[in-house]
Amino acid sequence: MLLRTRAPAKINLTLHVVRRRNDGYHDLESLVAFAGVADILDLVPDEPLALHISGPTADASGKLDDNLVLKAARALAERVPELKLGRFMLVKRLPVGAGIGGGSSDAAAALRLLAKLNTIDLADARLHEAARVTGADVPVCLHPRSKLMRGTGDRLGPHLAPRPLFAVLVNPGVHLETRAVFGKLGLKPGEDRSLHEHPLFHDDLDHASYFEAVGRGRNDMERAAGELAPVISDVLAALSRMQDCRLARMSGSGSTCFGLFGNRIAARRAAAELGRDHPRWWVTATVLR
């Protein structure tokens, strides 16, 4: 029986770079939400481990053997004796290398499917360890619900109550390497850049207070990414000009940006206008949860 799940886009509503550690990694604080747009992953059980990729952005997915879906499956197989595997079929709809965790979400989706096939609880430590060794953003994508992410992505807060945010996602077709953006940021080992504390998010916040707290956050990688890819500034400016756009910000290390709107109709209207004016950009209206 074929198993199927969605691998939704991960959006960093905030992204504070707290410090560069002496080991070269960076400690972050980030409020993460997940979009309604997603890749689709199927698993055909009882076949040798394999992966087939199709879809609009399949050609940009890179070498098959390097795909995080296979890496995650192999990592779990190393930790679970006699793990049942199968053939994965991935439909790529999300831009690649775009700051929205497409590959990480695909890997997390693979782990969820394997957990279902093998009757492994999603809280199983082996599942989370496989996610951690696969990639920094994979653990937060295992349960695709809004939460705070800290450290290198290894410290996750509890799931936050759903507060739908109406958004437009825009990617100008520029691939940015996260390593290059961190390099442009230029923090020295041990350097602390926590200019102010990250806003607090909890279930007692009403929708207006939640939105206001998002606005008080920032993306510390936005300027560095914009220097590497100036078109990011064009995207942010275009989003900001849209009627009823209340906040425009970059997600992750770029180059996807998002605009938050007051309602679904305003978001859809803005997406239609941006898509018409910039036909080479990937533009979609969605809901972040």
219 in Cβ contact with 12 (< 8 Å):
yes
Q: Which one from 27, 39, 137, 220 is the annotated catalytic residue?
A: 137
Catalytic annotation present for 124: no
Q: Dig out the tokens for 13 from the structure.
A: 């509503």
Catalytic annotation present for 65: no
Q: Which one from 10, 71, 92, 147 is the annotated catalytic residue?
A: 10
Q: Over the range 231-243, which residues count as b (16 or more CB within 10 Å of their CB) and which as e?
A: bbbbbbebbeebe
- Provide the annotated active-site residues: 10, 137
